[in-house]
């Protein structure tokens, strides 16, 4: 089958689009409001953009009534947000933090997780999460949607500090992903957990190509 998503119906019981780009890593994002209220929410429209310097983005759809998401407002107003790695052990807290609640509600309390301060950013991090990025807000690009809730704020940021819990760094110097068990979004109400890893290198790649694959900045 095929269909033009902007003008034709897919004819299926459920929209297949979100189930095509899978798995999507979860940007479990913490921020703080101008008045000091801590905020926490998952964003699966989240990615790294480049690695030197490390940059990230997330895409926040607006609410049907036109309101923008608190994470976007906080990032724009304070200039910062933090990313917390979402793990299988933390899945219920991730889910609880997705509730649409008033901006005055502390979503760390709602999700039952502990606050730990950032070093550079004014917002808290999730203490139970093994990896965090402190992200400095750069800009927002807004795209109109076909529907009000399709309208999206794409937020770009630069990673200024990376925290990794020592226990999840293996003897080989790599992050032990199988021990962390990150979760990611599929389509519908489905998720997956990363508990299998395999290695593959580009055949006959030179040192520079391999460095790009590994994410190693070019030596100047």
Ligand X SMILES: Cc1cc2nc3c(=O)[nH]c(=O)nc-3n(C[C@H](O)[C@H](O)[C@H](O)COP(=O)(O)O)c2cc1C
69 binds ligand X (CB under 6 A): yes
Which of 60, 75, 85, 180 is close enough to bind ligand X by CB under 6 A?
A: 60
Contact pick of 32, 38, 41, 56 for ligand X (by CB under 6 A): 41
Say if CB 81 and CB 137 are below 8 A apart: yes
* Burial (CB count <10 Å: 0-12, 13-18, 19+), residue 74: buried
Q: Which stretch binds ligand X (CB under 6 A): 69-77, 108-116, 124-132, 134-142?
A: 69-77
Task: Compute CA distances 143 → 59, 114, 129, 182, 192, whole Å.
Answer: 10, 35, 32, 30, 29
| Binding residue for ligand X, selected from 25, 32, 38, 44, defined by CB under 6 A | 44
78 in contact with ligand X (CB under 6 A): no
The beta-strand segments (E) located in the chain are 24-25, 27-32, 38-43, 46-51, 54-61, 80-84, 115-117, 124-126, 131-143, 152-164, 183-185, 191-193
C-beta separation of 149 from 64 below 8 A: yes
Q: Tell me: does residue 84 bind ligand X (CB under 6 A).
A: no
Write each residue from 169 to 208 as x if it is in contact with ligand X (CB under 6 A), else as -, in one continuous string. Answer: ----------------x-----------------------
Q: Which of 4, 12, 100, 204 binds ligand X (CB under 6 A)?
A: 100
**Smallest distance from ligand X to CB 146, Å:** 15
Give the binding site for ligand X (CB under 6 A): 26, 39, 41-45, 59-61, 69-71, 95, 98-100, 185
């Amino acid at each position: 089958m095929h269909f033009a998503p902007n003008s034709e119906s897919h004819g299926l019981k459920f929209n297949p689009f979100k189930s095509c780009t899978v798995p999507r890593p979860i940007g479990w994002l913490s921020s703080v409001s101008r008045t000091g209220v801590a905020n926490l929410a998952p964003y699966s429209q989240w990615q790294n953009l480049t690695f030197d310097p490390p940059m990230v983005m997330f895409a926040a759809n607006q609410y049907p009534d036109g309101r923008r998401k608190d994470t976007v407002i906080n990032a724009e107003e304070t200039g910062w947000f933090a990313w917390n790695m979402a793990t299988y052990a933390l899945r219920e807290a991730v889910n609880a933090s997705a509730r649409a609640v008033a901006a005055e509600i502390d979503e760390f309390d709602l999700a039952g997780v502990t606050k730990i301060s950032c070093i550079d950013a004014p917002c808290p991090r999730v203490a139970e999460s093994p990896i965090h990025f402190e992200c400095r807000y750069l800009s927002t690009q807004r795209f109109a949607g076909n529907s009000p809730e399709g309208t999206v704020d794409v937020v770009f940021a630069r990673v200024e500090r990376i925290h990794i819990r020592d226990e999840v760094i293996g003897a080989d110097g790599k992050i032990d992903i199988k021990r962390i068990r990150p979760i990611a979004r599929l389509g519908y109400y489905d998720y997956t957990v990363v508990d299998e890893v395999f290695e593959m290198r580009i055949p006959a790649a030179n040192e520079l190509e391999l460095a790009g694959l590994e994410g190693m900045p070019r030596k100047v």
